[in-house]
Amino acid sequence: MVEENKKKTAKQRPPRRSWLRRFGSVVKWMFILGILGILFAGGAVAGYVTSIVKDDPVRTEELIQQEVSQNAITGFAYFSDGQPIGQLRTEEDRRLIEFNDIPQLVIDAVLAIEDNNFYNHKGVDFNGTLRAVKQRLLNESVQTGGSTLTQQLARRVFLNLDRTEDRKVKEILLSLRLERFLSKQEILTAYLNKVPFGNGSNGYNVFGIKAAAKGIFGLDDLEKLNVAQAAYLAGLPQLPSKYSAFSGVGEFNETAFGRAMDRQRLVLRRMLEENKITTSQYDEALLFDIKGSLAPHTKKAYATFPYLMLETERKAAEIMLTLNEDNTSAASGSAATATTTTTDNTQLLEEARQQLMTGGYRVYTTIDKKVYSAMHSISEDSDNFTKDSKARGKEQTAGIMINNKTGAILGMIEGRDFNIEQMNYATQMVRQPGSTMKPIAAYLPALDAGLIQPAGILDDAPIIMKDGGKGFHIPKNANNRYQGLVTARYALNKSLNLPALKLFNDKVGIENAWTFSKKLGITTIQDDDYNAQTGVIGGLRYGVSVEELTNAYSSIGNQGAFNDAYMIEKIVDSQGKIIYQHKVNPEQVFSKQTAYLMTDMLRTVITDGTASTVKSKYEHFKEVPIVGKTGSTQNYGDVWFMGYTPDVTLGMWVGYKEQINTLQGDTQKRQAQTLWTKVMNTVIDKRPELFVTKEFPKPEGIVKATVSAYSGKKPSDLTDRFTTDLFNAKFVPSESDDGISKAKYITYNGVNYLPLEGTPEDFLKEKIVVKREKPIQSLVKELLAAFPAMKEHESLSYYMPEDAKTDFPTEVDPRVDDGNAPSAPGEVMVSYSTGKAVVTFTPSGSSDVAGYRLYRSLNGGSFQKQAVLSAGESTVFKPGTPASANATFYVAAVDVAGHETASGSVAGTQPTPEPTLPPEEVPGSDGTEPTPEPGIIPESSDDPGMIIVQPPGGNEATPSGSSNGAGGNTGATTP
């Protein structure tokens, strides 16, 4: 049994394995475990890579081609003659170049330092990567990047520039994909167009090899780069901020330049090692004076022409927006609809601006460099301005010059100091226009409709307006006078407010006036302005811009044809294609005859009117004729002068940033005229070829005629005052003078009335009187009714026109006889002035006094009446009695019924007054000056009622030598 068990046990024991078999088994399991480890590691790596790139899109060939070829390109602006203003606003300077235009020298330099195995790898250079890792681990002094040019391009186009491991993985995968779809030439070209090279000599960040050559060495042609310069540029992209020899404002940085030179020497050594240059070329490059070849420091365009560059950008962006909208409409097959909100429009405008900034567009402006510089030579000279005020700030100015024929803006003054105020005062500021609006909204539409002509008569008398509340407002003239009936020419010459207000409100009408103004480019009219009765003298909701007001005046210089002012002549894209070209499209808004008459009226504003400063300081009357209009706002918060020649129009504004800060003193109040004249004198000297037209062209249909100075109509047999002026032949008056009549009247408080029955004849006047549209009696009633509702007002006499005494009576004398003799005047006194007697007295206290009589006795003889004065006229008689005469005087008060009461005192030898026979009449006994005889010119040409006293000599008669405010000097020539 035991034996059997032993045998069984011996049979079950396995045979003993050899060591070789055991080793093989170990190797087998190690291999299996290795495979499993590799699979696990690969899976882990794949999972890690997948987790990194899971959110990255799979970029198609089309997308890669599109993104790589897309480049931000620097745009430029140019003056009208093609001279560069500068590059459009950006901190970058980018200029594209094609592969065929890249010299082999530049390619060799770049590849030698950045990717010497570029043509052999498929996007990733593993040897280069390992070398870079070794250099970093061993902290070697010379370290090269492990990234190929393809990787750098992928990083710059598709990834951010953060140094992370995740980014490196994405970069490698993208590089492999780029190499599948792009040729080596395409990759190299894209790299050299996109890589940064630091700052140029003007401070801009330069991107791309072409911009680098221009910005750093001032070279437009890469073929002009030598070995030293090419190596210098090739070394910059690794650390452009560290190696940039220029700062952000273009200042030289010696330290950074030293680092760049160390880098350059490394590039040269690598080029030598790669056999891209010979030893002699290497040695020559080391000796080359790089510093001496750097481009000279220049200011950015936004430092040299900051206002102009911003305005170019703004106007060009608006054009780009319009082009984009037109393209969108064309693509959709329908017209653009106005459904975008203000926010949407602002966003679209910003997108258009960015497109302009980065699209490589070239913007050609209408700005004449000499004109612009001449204008700024005036605005930048502090001697031309009032000293800065702590309270008010800096006196500001704005001006704009426009070509009448085309509307092209030739130059502008946008402000005095861009560092203080960036707003363009010439195009963006809106201010009240004052009297410069009168020609645009009153005289031009009235002339064109035949409602007025230069010799037409307007009444400079008060009008009563509601002040917005329950009260009233009575506009005044700047001279604090109401001058009565005056010609339209005189009213404009002296910039009288009331005639303009009456044209605006009554003859033309506010709605028609604003419709007309809008046709001349005034876009700032608001709905509220249609209720603004004083809008024509500056009472607008907001006002107007210097550009738009100047533009409106230029239409007069262009014979009534309006061209919308423009500053952008054309825009050219990066391929040289003209995508926008301005087209001049004049619109005949008013007739040539109207333009000529308005021009001639504005001529006498300078020769005989408010523009005396221009008249005295303008230097080119003989060569270049000028006309113009002054303007100011309340308390001189703004002053304007709008003037033009046959070729150009120049508008000038002066004021402070805040309108509440007013201009003070005569110098500041005339500052717009002064600056306008200085600018014109300078521009004519610098650019005389702009002023080729020597006179304003006179169209057919302009005639000269003599008309009544009372009504502006044909003289009648009664007419004794005349004015001769120019007319549109269509509107020469055919009706006879109905503005005067012969009447017997009495004057009371400066107003003419029909006399009461029984009023003494010696207080009545029988003369030719004026029949005005609104009789003075009606005006007095309106004034007296308005006074109680006014917070403050002047006395009634203040509002009486200076020719009120000549008014035709329409109402009966309001005084009523009280049945008693009037109380006596008192304190009769006589004095002598220049040897002639002057008799004064105190008036009677009775309310029904018609006037006063002066009686005189010579050498104790009987008293005789010498003169009369109407009540309210004066308390002084000037009988002209010499001091040598032995004369005594007394004064009697006379009421409307003829009752007379003598004064209780007698001046002189004091004999007792005796009853006298009816007094003998003497010339001038009514106390008034005699009416001038025909042919006699009044002594005071300032009196608007005394226009021209001259017998009519036919429609072609012109008053000889007349130069008063009546416009009778229309035959004169500009000084």
pLDDT exceeds 50 at position 8: no
Q: Please say if the pLDDT value at position 973 is more than 60.
A: no
Query: Of the ranges 159-168, 646-655, 856-865, 939-948, which is most confident?
Result: 646-655
Query: What are the structure tokens assigned to 616, written together?
Result: 């005295």
pLDDT at 193 over 60: yes
In DSSP terms, 901 is beta-bridged to 893
Least confident range of 487-491, 564-568, 835-839: 835-839
At residue 165, the pLDDT reads 53
Contacts of 635 (CB under 8 A, 6+ apart): 662
pLDDT bin (cut points 50, 70, 90) of residue 911 is very low
H or E element at residue 488? helix 488-493
What value does the mean pLDDT take over residues 684-709?
97
Name residue 56's amino acid: D
- Say which DSSP state 385 is in: S
Q: Report percent pLDDT > 90 for the chain.
A: 62
pLDDT at 751: 87
Whole-number Å distance between alpha carbons of 561 and 807: 42
- d(CA 941, CA 965) in angstroms, rounded, equals 7
CB neighbours (10 Å) of residue 775? 19
What is residue 907's predicted lDDT score, i.e. its pLDDT? 80
State the burial class of residue 441 (Cβ atoms within 10 Å of its Cβ: 0-12, 13-18, 19+): buried
**What is the band of 900 on the pLDDT scale with cuts at 50, 70, 90?**
very high
Band of residue 39 on the pLDDT scale cut at 50, 70, 90: low
Residue 194 or 397, more confident: 397
Partners of residue 393 on adjacent β-strands? 389
pLDDT at 138: 61
Contact present, 724 and 455 (Cβ < 8 Å): yes
Residues 6+ apart with CB under 8 A from 475: 462, 463, 465, 497, 498, 501, 534, 537
Measured CA to CA, the distance from residue 97 to residue 211 in angstroms comes to 9
Higher-confidence residue: 233 or 54? 233
The neighbour count for residue 341, using CB atoms within 10 Å, is 8
Is the pLDDT reported for residue 963 higher than 70? no
915, HSE (Cβ side, Cα atoms, 13 Å) = 0
* pLDDT for res 341: 56
Taking a C-beta distance cutoff of 8 angstroms, is the pair 762, 864 a contact? no
User: pLDDT-based confidence at 248, cuts 50/70/90?
Assistant: confident
Distance CA 752, CA 806 (A): 8
Query: Three-class SS of residue 850?
Result: strand
Q: What tokens appear for 504 in the block? A: 């605006």
- List the one residue out of 561, 562, 311 whose CA is nearest residue 412: 311
Res. 547 pLDDT band, cuts 50 70 90? very high
Nearest alpha-carbon partner for 953 in 780, 793, 722? 722
What whole-number distance in Å separates Cα of residue 190 and Cα of residue 194? 6
Which residue type is seen at 221?
D
Q: What is the total residue count of the chain?
A: 975
Average pLDDT estimate for 658-677: 95
- How far is Cα 644 from Cα 650, in angstroms, rounded to an integer? 6
- Is there a contact between 411 and 371 (Cβ–Cβ < 8 Å)? yes
C-beta of residue 361 within 8 angstroms of C-beta of residue 571: yes
| pLDDT score for 36 | 64
Q: What is the pLDDT of residues 117-126, one digit of tens each?
A: 899 988 887 7
Q: Which of 597, 577, 406 is nearest to 488 (CA)?
A: 597
How confident is the model over 508-541, as pLDDT tens digits? Answer: 999 999 999 999 999 999 999 999 999 999 889 9
Q: Is the pLDDT of residue 869 over 50?
A: yes
What one-letter code names the amino acid at 777? Q
Point out the least confidently predicted range of 12-21, 184-193, 882-891.
Answer: 12-21
What confidence score (pLDDT) does residue 971 get?
Answer: 32
* Closest to 675 measured CA to CA, from 659, 705, 651: 651
Residue type present at position 50: T
DSSP string, 811-849: SB------SSPPPPPEEEEEEEETTEEEEEEEPPS-TTE
Q: Determine the residue type at 831.
A: S
Contact criterion met (CB below 8 Å) for 348 and 340: yes
Rounded distance, CA 357 to CA 90, Å? 7
According to the model, what pLDDT value does residue 173 have?
80
Cα–Cα distance for residue pair 313/85, rounded to 1 Å: 12
If one compares 147 and 305, the residue with the highest pLDDT of the two is: 305
pLDDT in tens, 355-377: 898 889 999 999 999 999 999 99
Residue 38 pLDDT greater than 70, yes or no: no
pLDDT in the model for residue 259:
94
Using CA atoms, how far residue 939 sits from 266, 452, 479, 923, in Å, is 96, 28, 21, 20
Please, which residues bridge with residue 173 across strands? none
Element (H, E) at 780: helix 776-786
Ramachandran assignment for 818, one of left (phi > 0), alpha (psi -120 to 50 degrees), beta (any other): alpha
Residue corresponding to tokens 């004999």: 911
Backbone angles phi, psi at 506, to 5 degrees: -100, -45
In the chain, the N- to C-terminal Cα span, in Å, equals 159
Q: From edge to edge, which strands make up the β-sheet containing 864-870?
A: 864-870, 849-858, 887-895, 900-902
- Where is 66: in which H helix or E strand? helix 61-69
pLDDT one-digit tens code per residue, 177-192:
888 888 899 889 988 9
Q: What is the pLDDT of residue 52?
A: 44
Q: Pairing state of beta strands 205-207 and 92-94? A: parallel
Percent of the chain, pLDDT > 70?
A: 81
pLDDT tens column, 799-830: 999 999 888 998 999 999 999 999 999 999 99
Burial of 393 (0-12, 13-18, 19+ CB in 10 A): middle
Mean pLDDT of 586-607: 98
| Digit-coded pLDDT (tens) for 454-472 | 999 999 999 999 887 778 9
DSSP 213-259: HHHHH--S-GGG--HHHHHHHHTSTTSHHHH-SB-TTS-B-HHHHHH
CB 464 within 8 A of CB 474: yes
Has residue 9 got a pLDDT over 70?
A: no
pLDDT of residue 74: 84
Q: Which amino acid is at 614?
A: V
Tell me which residue of 873, 828, 880 sits closest to 849, measured CA to CA: 873
Q: What is the pLDDT of residues 390-449, one digit of tens each?
A: 999 999 999 999 999 999 999 999 999 888 888 999 999 999 999 999 999 999 999 999
Q: pLDDT at position 297, please?
A: 85
DSSP 3-state of 678? helix
Is 342's pLDDT higher than 60?
no
Number of H helices, E strands in the chain: 29, 31
Q: 452: exposed, middle or buried (C-beta count within 10 Å: 0-12, 13-18, 19+)?
A: buried
pLDDT at position 166: 60
Provide the token pair at 798: 């203040």
Percentage helix, strand, coil, to 5, in the chain? 40, 20, 45
How many Cβ atoms sit within 10 Å of the Cβ of residue 350? 12
For residues 145-155, give the mean pLDDT.
Answer: 80
Average pLDDT for 950-975: 35
DSSP per position, 561-616: EE---B-EEEEE-TTS-EEEE-----EE-S-HHHHHHHHHHHHHHHHHSS-HHHHH
Asked if the model's pLDDT at residue 956 lies above 50, the reply is: no
Sequence letter at residue 544: V
Bridge partners (DSSP) of residue 206 are: 93
Backbone angles phi, psi at 357, to 5 degrees: -70, -35
Tokens at 347, concatenated: 């966003």
Q: What value does the mean pLDDT of the chain take?
A: 85
